[in-house]
Chain A
Amino acid sequence: MSAPAAYVRRDMIGPMPPPLAATGFVGWVRHQLFGSVFNSVLTLAGLLLLIALAVPTIRFLVVDAVWDGASREDCLEETLGRPVGACWPFIAAKFKQFMYGFYPDSELWRVNLTYGLGVILLAPLLVPRLPYKTVNAILFFGVFPVVAFFLLVGGVFGLSHVETRVWGGMLVTLVISFTGIIGCLPLGILLALGRRSDLPIVRMLCVIFIEFWRGVPLITVLFFATYMLPLFLPGNWRIDPLLRVLIGVILFAGAYMAEVVRGGLQAIPRGQYEGAMALGFGYWRMTGLVILPQALKYVIPGIVNSFIALFKDTTLVLIVAIFDLLGQLRAAFADPNWSTPVTLFTGFAFAGIIYFVISFAMSRYALYTERRLDTGVAR
């Protein structure tokens, strides 16, 4: 008895490829950008906005820009007979002022040498794969500041003394940022430890200190350091104006750093403390060898973010008459030799690019370490 042969499919048919319009670039565009009427309207509005912003910006910075010239005449619409974009000769003429302030010409090599040393020591520190991190860190955070101090200030080893009054521009921005970063980290760690201390008076003092500096604007702190601090010190002590500002910045940034470090300390499980105590460690060995290394590792992104904030905040010193990059920029605007309708925008574009590149690089580095540590630490 043979049944009529019937065709019975044993295997499933493989799925058909999705229609061309649903995959690849076309599908992506249809889905992401024109999925619905509302979505299409959004896309079109976004496109219009993008064009309205990007086209004039590129025209200003590149296409219509003036690349060489010697005075304001070269950046005027009347002389060129065409719309004028950025007046880059203005930046070229003021470049030295933006970078070094009024640091004497013959001594500029000292600033450049300091920059060079800083870059040589910093670069290998940022690449996790390179060896000798401890030596490198000691050189960068311990030796470099001392060398830089003597190089920039002078007065020893046959270097002529350069007053901080003539420092300016990027030099001041970097000096304040770097000193603030070096100074606020130890202060922040001490305050954070103090805030979590068992000693009630220490804890209370740390809380008051932290909350006070965090509750007032940085500019009041700078005024405090500039106008009030000299009154509190014996009359014959003359503190350099730049040093006053540095003290203010360190106190202020230290309070913020304390809160970041405290976050890391709180993330350490109790078992770590108990383990350290079981090994017979006292408070300082427990903190220094067990707790802090882990806590600081947790909060590296937070620390870098504080550094970014500090870097941006250095601009405030121009209000107490210390001319950092932004201060020099504003001073340069007053020069009648370069007063054109585009000078302001050119200057802001130049300084903006510098500030943006540095902050953006730092924030990307923070993201990078965050990812790297995320995979490295099993929680």
Chain B
Amino acid sequence: MSETATGLRAPPRVALHNNPKVRSAFYQTVLLVILVACAYAFVVNARVNLAAQGFSSGFGFLANTAGFGINQTLIAYSETDSYGRVFLVGLLNTLLVAGVGIVLATILGFIIGIARLSPNWLVARLAGGYVELIRNLPLLFQILFWYLAVLLGALPGPRDSIGLGLQPILARLAGATRWLGLPDAVAQWWQRLADWVGPPEVYLNNRGLILPRPVFGEGSEFVVAVLALAIIATIALGLWARRRRDATGRSFPVGWAGFGLIVGLPLATLVVLGAPIGFEQPVLRGFNFVGGVRVIPEFVALLIALVTYTAAFIAEVVRAGIMAIPRGQSEAAQALGLRRGAMLRLIIVPQALRVIVPPLTNQYLNLTKNSSLAVAIGYPDLFALFAGTVLNQTHQAIEIIAVTMAVYLLISLVTSLLMNLYNARTRRLVER
């Protein structure tokens, strides 16, 4: 009896319009009705407008002939192919620049992020200046700068191409020795070394970057198979080494062994088989290069801009991740006698990765989305080809923009999904 007196009472009766449940249901219904009405109006308007302009709707246009050429295709493509094929070409080009960009930006970003925390004052300041400069300039500005001013404006034509490689460096060293007034014999020694190395393999000019083309001769499948075997063996070795270390405490130099396996075995196979994989060197003939692969300047400019821009942001992410590690960790590592390199590799980075990975994912997504700025310089990525050229030719604005948006959305969702999985794994490892 007393329980009912002091315990729960039935909630007071409130007017219907004050009942929270009724109110929330009412507001949400109103919101939904408004949204549905807007959507309906959009559809009706679009239908009327399209009919007035005489455009058809639907995805039938994907099968029509495109009729324009593309200056970089990863798959076979000709002007007689369909718009659907154009879409594929563009998608692959986007994935190419995003993939290469992510790898390079990660490397550069980690180097600069660590340099910003370097005990060397000058190095830290230089890295800081780089980050400030790059982060405060618009990306499109940088893309246009690299493309218009550097690639097309400042680089020489094919005849005066800049060679990249060992030989130009050695030749430059020879020049520097002469300039310093050192004995001529030294300069000649450098020069002879340069001649011995042979002409450079990579050239840069205002028509792009010219790389040697790999040539796969007879028996090259065998080398690839050996390479795959070596990778599998290295993974197995790593697993074994970890188990042994857990059991006995003795570590095994997996890094060196793996390096030997992955690099050494295929090289040995190459030698045994008589070099079935070779490189076709680009050679200047007349006004242009013959042989080799030409990377179009649009790709080079876009890649440089995306990599340097994203690297500045990754550097900040890396710096924040490393600074999130308590000082005691690095002090303990120093007390154990670890050098700075080993300390970073074994103590700091594994812990910092936990903090770094989520914002790093964001940067990867940003890079992928930013690659759509390619349209400004005419690199044939998904956006430039599909939402640019195809939209201009077919006027199927709704379908094309919806598909383009959906592709980027899908890339974003898949990437964040993968990164979340990785993130969950590292977190589990750390908590053990």
Contacts and interface: CB of A to CB of B under 8 A. Distances in A.
A344 B24 contact: no
Given A199-B24, A344-B153, A355-B136, A235 B120 contact: no
A326 B141 contact: yes
Main secondary structure of the interface of A (DSSP, over half): helix
Contacts of B346: none
A235 to B, nearest CB: 5
A62 B383 CA distance: 40
B144 A330 contact: yes
B315 to A, nearest CB: 15
Interface string A113-137: 0000000000000000000000000
A47 B123 CA distance: 9
A376 interface: no
B56 to A, nearest CB: 13
Contacts of A315: 138-141
Given A42-B123, A46-B123, A220-B408, A356 B133 contact: yes
Contacts of A205: 31, 35
Nearest to B143: A315
Contacts of A348: 141, 144-145, 149
Nearest to B125: A46
A199 B23 CA distance: 10
A224 interface: yes
Contacts of A359: 135-137
A228 B397 contact: yes
A233 interface: yes
Interface in A254-313: 308, 312-313
B126 A49 contact: yes
A50 interface: yes
B409 A39 contact: no
Given A202-B31, A216-B408, A224-B405, A312 B372 contact: no
Interface stretch (B46-54, B211-219, B267-275): B46-54
Contact of A318 (B48, B133, B140): B140
A223 interface: yes
A230 B375 CA distance: 22
Contacts of B162: none
Given A42-B120, A201-B28, A216 B52 contact: no
Given A217-B372, A219-B373, A326-B138, A39 B42 contact: no
B31 A201 contact: yes
A219 B372 contact: yes
A227 interface: yes
B401 A231 contact: no
Contacts of A318: 140, 376
Contacts of A314: 138
Interface in B23-48: 24, 27-28, 31-32, 35, 41-42, 45-46, 48
A312 B413 contact: no
Given A46-B126, A201-B28, A312-B138, A319 B376 contact: yes
Contacts of B413: 215
A29 to B, nearest CB: 9
B212 to A, nearest CB: 29
Contact of A235 (B48, B122, B132, B136): B48
B391 interface: yes
Interface string A364-376: 0000000000000
B144 A216 contact: no
Nearest to B409: A215
A23 interface: no
A198 interface: yes
Give the most central of B153, B154, B375: most A CB within 10 Å.
Answer: B153
A46 B136 contact: no
Contact of A232 (B27, B46, B119, B409): B46
B401 A227 contact: yes
Contacts of A308: 136
Contact of B391 (A227, A319, A360): A227
B383 to A, nearest CB: 6
Interface in A195-219: 198-202, 205, 212, 214-219
Interface of A: 28, 32-33, 35, 39, 42-43, 46-47, 49-50, 198-202, 205, 212, 214-220, 223-224, 227-228, 230-235, 308, 312-316, 318-319, 326, 330, 333, 341, 344-345, 348, 351-352, 355-356, 359-360, 363
What are the 3 A-B residue pairs with the smallest beta carbon separation, nearest first? A359-B136, A217-B369, A312-B138
16 contacts: A32-B122, A201-B28, A202-B31, A223-B387, A224-B401, A231-B397, A232-B46, A312-B137, A315-B138, A315-B140, A315-B141, A318-B376, A326-B138, A330-B148, A345-B154, A355-B136
Given A220-B401, A359-B136, 7 more contacts: A42-B118, A215-B413, A216-B405, A217-B369, A220-B408, A330-B148, A363-B135
